[in-house]
Chains A and B, each alone.
Chain A
Amino acid sequence: MTEAPNIRPLGDGALLIEFGDTIDAVIHDQVMAWDAALAENPPQGMLESVPAYASLMVAYDNALTDLEQLSSQIRTAAKLAQTAALSPAEHCIPVCYEGEGAPDLGAVAERLGMTSDDVVAQHLAGSYEVYMYGFAPGYAYLGGVPDAVQLPRKAEPVRGHKVGSVMIAGGQCLITTLPMPTGWWVIGHSPAVILDPDGPRPFLFQPGDRVHFERIEGE
């Protein structure tokens, strides 16, 4: 938290704090540290903060504050919290890598020149972090897919995957919470409920949490 990140306006009710432009655990730790600092000492007029891979958005009520005042208070809050240690939760997520729930596993193996079991072993070996939620409710973007199984996304999105699909693209992994078309590669299915709309805890993960996967047989 020693470097001063850029703060840019994002319209008249939000600003964007930029820490870098790569998916990187160190940069993301910085994002989460600033997020925690703001949660601990919310500046006047702050409405919410939204962590992403390498940036943090802060939405504000422009009746109560403005870009200049809020930027200065954010920098102060971040300095005060420099010693705050983050203690992310860890989750073990079961995945079935067989049958209908893993429609792309064979194609991924073929493209990478390995067996399906190798792909599964690589995916299980990854150590994942929840970098952010994005796109739609409960879509948690996990970083940490091992280099050996990284593939660019498909040329065209495909429809019809069921909720709970475990899919990868590049260094990212995601467990779907809605039936949306996607260009990511679906290599398994998880019974874990990431989005439980009416439950006491609607969202399983907090940004910054750690995740590992565990293989299960046919659900």
Chain B
Amino acid sequence: MPRVLLKVETAGPLTTIQDGGRPGYRRYGVPPSGPVDRLGFAAAQARVGNGRGDPALEISHGGLRLSCVEGEVGFALGGSGFIGAVGLAKVNSGILRAGMTLSITQNGQGNWAYLALGGQLQTRRWLGSAATHALAELGGGRVAAGRILEVMTPDGQVAASSQNRAETPSKISEVRIILGPQERFFPDSAVNALCCEPFAASARFDRMGMVLDGPALVPNSLDMLSEPAVRGALQVNGTGQLTMLLADHQTTGGYPKIAVVIGPDIDRVAQLSPGSPIRFVSISAGQAVAIARKNRAEKEAYLASLRDVSSLAERLMNRNLVDGMVDGLTDGSADTGPADLT
């Protein structure tokens, strides 16, 4: 298999390797980790023909700049809030060849982006997964300046999606929650405020959680035993500040969780830029399951459509590689130029 070497020139502090995650170890204090925006990650992987469990790079504040040292590899960006550039051309997917540099910078419309590289990114694994637990630095690990990334690409083809348009789902403003399990630690006024008052995303986030601004929801008591926590839990500290737990959440916590954001909404809240307004709407666990099932079906259809486009692009790409030129190909909505500038 051909080898590709990429050198990390600069990387923001939250840049890590992630894959589908490491479920099943929460009883040992290990959260599932994996991408903060799971759909953005899966979309980038689909566009280069990778599986959704393969490793890719997660990017946040500070962006990422890497140069191709050897070989050539297809890439695609997923997630929200970032844009790629090779030279002067803005690109969200294409082929990176030796001598080219890809810069990924923030454009303010989201917090987390994914760089998928067509093939197998070679990386350390822990408990069967390359997902990085940022706090412990276990798994694939942080991606810092100077690191050399190695990708083994499939023989005879460089997969690259021609779909150059960044998929940015609409911003979420109405966030569905299931109350509890520790709402009894709060006065009725706090539970009412949660469901009636406006809240907003903040700039205080990392892979463990995001602080949400809004009225203080001060608990009656903090005298609570540590209980298991999940991604999406709205944990409240002693001053009444709300934090939504994310991919690297602590597996147990002694702060009460007033409610939990439903699965389909968590990652979309995590992508909100600071100051974006939200309101919480309380629904039942039964309603939430029905929504989750519908959402799952929609996601699968969306990802399948990306894979189809990707494989068509691949076929055309392989033909076009003969004369080294790649056209706009299949996606009429592409709003940026072709990535392949050699």
Q: Name A's B-contacting residues (CB within 8 A).
A: 8-14, 16, 18, 21-23, 47-57, 59, 62-63, 66-68, 132-141, 178, 180, 197-198, 202-203, 207
Contacts and interface: CB of A to CB of B under 8 A. Distances in A.
A185 to B, nearest CB: 17
Contacts of A132: 27, 226, 252
* In the A-B complex, the 10 residue pairs with the closest CB atoms: A134-B252, A11-B260, A57-B228, A12-B288, A133-B29, A9-B285, A8-B181, A67-B285, A66-B289, A50-B228
Interface in B262-320: 262-263, 285-286, 288-289, 291-293, 296
B194 interface: no
Interface string B124-163: 0011000001011010000000000000000000000000
A47 B24 contact: yes
B28 A137 contact: yes
A8 B178 CA distance: 10
Given A12-B178, A22-B225, A202-B127, 9 more contacts: A9-B181, A12-B292, A16-B228, A47-B24, A50-B252, A52-B225, A54-B225, A134-B250, A137-B138
Given A54-B225, A132-B226, A11 B29 contact: no
Contacts of A57: 26, 227-228, 230
A166 B167 CA distance: 49
Q: SS class of chain B's interface: helix, strand, loop or mixed?
A: mixed
B212 interface: no
A50 B251 contact: yes
Contacts of B285: 9, 12, 66-67
A91 to B, nearest CB: 15
A48 B224 CA distance: 23
B232 interface: yes
Given A67-B285, A202-B28, A10 B260 contact: yes
Interface residues of B, number: 43
Interface string B1-42: 000000000000000000000011111111000000000000
Contacts of A52: 225-228, 252
B225 A13 contact: no
Contacts of B138: 137, 197
Contact of B26 (A48, A54, A180, A202): A48
B44 to A, nearest CB: 23
Contacts of B126: 197-198
Contacts of A202: 28, 127
Nearest to B283: A12
B228 A141 contact: no
A23 B126 CA distance: 32
Contact of B233 (A11, A51, A59, A203): A11
B180 A8 contact: yes
A125 B30 CA distance: 31
Nearest to B27: A50
Contacts of A11: 178, 230-233, 260-263, 288
Contacts of A10: 180-181, 228, 230, 233, 257, 260
B252 A207 contact: no
